Amino acid sequence: MSGQDDDASENKGEAAEREAAKQRLLAQAEADRVPVEDTTRAVPDRRWRRDQR
């Protein structure tokens, strides 16, 4: 019977580790995010050439 209790506590520990890792990844992604205002829009090459004629 105590073997089942050990498994349950291990599963809770793994779930907590997964949640902590998820939070770290989300925090890192937010830190690396580039705001839309800081990005530039690419102009297709055809449009650029059409304007050059």
pLDDT of residue 35: 77
pLDDT of residue 48: 57
pLDDT tens per residue across all 53 residues of the chain: 455 666 777 788 899 999 999 999 999 999 988 777 777 777 666 655 655 55
pLDDT of residue 37: 74
Cβ-based neighbours of 24, under 8 Å, separated by 6 or more = none
CA atoms within a 13 Å half-sphere pointing along the CA-CB vector of 15: 6
Q: What is the pTM of this model?
A: 0.50
Cα 6 from Cα 3, distance rounded (Å): 5
What residue spans define the domains of the chain? 1-34
